[in-house]
Structure 1
Amino acid sequence: MKKPVAILLMGPTASGKTAVALELARRFPVELVSVDSAQVFRDMNVGTAKPDAVTLSEFPHHLIDVITPEETYSAERFRLDALRAMTEITARGRVPLLVGGTMLYFKALLEGLAELPEADTATRAAIDRQAAEQGWPNVHSELAQVDPETAARLHPTDAQRIQRALEVFRLTGRPLSTLIAENRSETPPFDFVSIGLAPSERSILHERIARRFDAMLQAGLEAEVETLRTKYRLDAGRPSMRCVGYRQVWEVIEGLAPRGEMRVRGIFATRQLAKRQLTWLNNTLRPEVFDCLAPELASRVIRRVAPVFNAVE
């Protein structure tokens, strides 16, 4: 039997994914599925660039506002939730359009996940103590000795992923990269059309990132973080508060960083995120790439996917 079609639209932050996705939704019978590890959190709207209520009313998104900021969401859970949503969408005679910038989620969807040990509280606490004493760059150096492949794709201050990779090694005695490589591919029963948005000039994307972060600050990002701190039991170690933007605001509120550096630190962290996203895009996922800075970007993507819907009909 012929596989149902699913469209993947991926790219770094500020590449214009949402605008393109909405244009596709206006023209074709699609349903949108968010592929964003920050937009899964309820009440985190400004700093995640979540579509506003009017947009969500007109174009509902699956996998937005799934959990509270106190909870944790994993790539494994995303894969299960996404496949369930995709199956329901195709049953309605529509096409899933998965949109976002969390590249690990895309990879998990396409290839499945390795059998990894569950989180171990004692091991994580030991790594956290080590980081508190030595700094995350030193912990990253240790990871580079036992798992150079994983360390090479992680920033030296990417605490959450460094911790997990080192935890896996300490629990299993084997590198995370080796366990992932041994995982047998579990291709979902869909015919994927993968489209990537990437900038022809990185400096222009950086300008977009700066403008976007400024807009978030003006829209009340700091007030949003203050409200979250009041409404939920949060700390700096929660995945929600490790999200880019939220971490930098949290550090200012806690007095760990000067207020005057909040904007610069937030923009820098977002640029680093975009760099990692582009590395995933180019080296791992390898979609058909469109220049996100090109005039009439949406029209170009529309022309590319139109044959898909002709075939579906």
Structure 2
Amino acid sequence: MIAGVPADSRASAIAIMGPTASGKTAFALELAERLGGEIVSVDSALVYRGLDIGAAKPTAEERRGIPHHLIDVREAWQPYSAAEFAAEARAAIAGICDRGKLPILAGGTGLYFHALLRGLAPMPDADPELRARIVADARVRGWTSLHAELAQVDPAAAARIHTTDAQRIQRALEVFRLTGIPISVWQRDAALRTGLPLRVLKLVLAPADRAVLHQRIERRFDAMLEAGFLDEVRALRAVPQLQSHPAPLELPALRAVGYRQAWEYLDGATSVDEFRDRAIFATRQLAKRQLTWLRGQLDALIFDPVLDAARLHAAVHAFLPTAGPASGGGPRAA
């Protein structure tokens, strides 16, 4: 502590971020065991019940009795916004701190991390009727046409939303039609943002060699297939609410990588080899987008989960000196 400068008295938390298949889950479990922590999942697929194998959701055995939060909180047909996640995650974190435990925030969903750590501008709640009209319009005109419409009313939002990102196009148009105010205006008002009132160490796990990450992604997907991923998707297809949904693949849960490709394969749209190749490619593209977002987190520390294991643990010890040094090796790939 610098003389005359008060110590930061806020509670502490550790955020473990990284692209898919980088080893976040294993490292979060290791820290939770060693530091007496509880894990808050920051993953937009793990919130859904029934998305287990394909979402790499840790099993009850893998959790080893460590409390986990924000897993299995919605059904696959139910919407779930970043604002809802942030509110529920903050409530979970408050409970963890009240119990004298360390919150460990682990996941790869950038929007969820942003909403949780920095806050989101308050916007109107979702309007199911208006959303249904926008989706129906998209079926006739296509999402590219609706993106062009968005560019007319909110060029700033359209510039950062891809023409095929149906969920974000839908939300941006919904907000504008409900309020007459572009979503970019709502989002840029810094006065409406409230950050997480904790002292947070941001750790990014990312293999230095992109080829290593690609190999992990491929191996993990093949392991998912062997574990019964397609049977899991067949079970989802049998859920009455998904069977009766007019466009199930437009639901956020089924836009998770792997699930859309498996659904289309079970529809007979692709061969099994095409399904595997498309799912692995989609996962690699997700990892690329995650890495792009993570590189913009200037206050985060980036480590190769294997090559930088000693430095990674040293960073934790420097942040929480009373935790002591690590007793084991580096994090395993998850």
* TM-score, with length taken from structure 1: 0.89
How far the C-alpha of 1:240 sits from its partner, in A, is 1.6
Contact kept, 8 Å, 2:22 with 2:207, in 1: the verdict is: yes
Higher Rg: 2
- Alignment of 1:289 onto 2:301: yes
Instruction: Give, in whole Å, the separation in 1 of the partners of 2:47 and 2:204.
Output: 22
One-letter amino acid of the structure 2 residue matched with residue 72 of structure 1: P
User: Match of 2:250, SS?
Assistant: coil
Deviates further, 67-76 or 288-297: 288-297
How far the C-alpha of 1:176 sits from its partner, in A, is 1.8
How far the C-alpha of 1:47 sits from its partner, in A, is 0.7
Deviates further, 40-49 or 74-83: 74-83
- Alignment of 1:123 onto 2:130: yes
One-letter amino acid of the structure 2 residue matched with residue 248 of structure 1: Q
Instruction: Give, in whole Å, the separation in 2 of the partners of 1:138 and 1:292.
Output: 42
- Alignment of 1:83 onto 2:87: no
How do 1:1-313 and structure 2 match up within 5 A? 2-183=9-190, 184-234=192-242, 235-283=248-296, 285-292=297-304, 294-297=306-309, 299-310=310-321
How far the C-alpha of 1:293 sits from its partner, in A, is 5.5
One-letter amino acid of the structure 2 residue matched with residue 162 of structure 1: I
How far the C-alpha of 1:18 sits from its partner, in A, is 1.1
Cα distance change, pair 193–34 in 1 and its aligned pair in 2 (3 A): same
Instruction: Give, in whole Å, the separation in 2 of the partners of 1:131 and 1:260.
Output: 30
Instruction: Give, in whole Å, the separation in 1 of the partners of 2:159 and 2:304.
Output: 27
Cα distance change, pair 65–6 in 1 and its aligned pair in 2 (3 A): same
How far the C-alpha of 1:37 sits from its partner, in A, is 1.1
User: Match of 2:28, SS?
Assistant: helix
How far the C-alpha of 1:171 sits from its partner, in A, is 2.8
The Cα offsets for residues 119-147 of structure 1, whole Å up to 9 and x where unpaired, read as 23443234323432343344334434443
One-letter amino acid of the structure 1 residue matched with residue 311 of structure 2: R
Instruction: Give, in whole Å, the separation in 1 of the partners of 2:139 and 2:40.
Output: 38
How far the C-alpha of 1:10 sits from its partner, in A, is 0.9
Contact kept, 8 Å, 2:35 with 2:323, in 1: the verdict is: no
Q: CA RMSD in A?
A: 2.4
Instruction: Give, in whole Å, the separation in 2 of the partners of 1:45 and 1:6.
Output: 26
One-letter amino acid of the structure 1 residue matched with residue 95 of structure 2: E
Contact kept, 8 Å, 1:39 with 1:45, in 2: the verdict is: yes
Contact kept, 8 Å, 1:12 with 1:274, in 2: the verdict is: yes
How far the C-alpha of 1:304 sits from its partner, in A, is 0.5
How far the C-alpha of 1:152 sits from its partner, in A, is 4.0
Moved over 6 A (4+): none
User: Match of 1:233, SS?
Assistant: helix
Alignment coverage as a number of residue pairs: 311
User: Match of 2:56, SS?
Assistant: coil
User: Match of 1:58, SS?
Assistant: coil
The Cα offsets for residues 246-297 of structure 1, whole Å up to 9 and x where unpaired, read as 11111222334444421122122212222222222222x3342323364253
Instruction: Give, in whole Å, the separation in 1 of the partners of 2:223 and 2:302.
Output: 26
Instruction: Give, in whole Å, the separation in 1 of the partners of 2:151 and 2:278.
Output: 26
Contact kept, 8 Å, 1:38 with 1:243, in 2: the verdict is: yes
Contact kept, 8 Å, 1:9 with 1:196, in 2: the verdict is: yes
User: Match of 1:286, SS?
Assistant: coil
How far the C-alpha of 1:226 sits from its partner, in A, is 0.7
Deviates further, 253-262 or 156-165: 253-262
* TM-score, with length taken from structure 2: 0.84
User: Match of 1:223, SS?
Assistant: helix
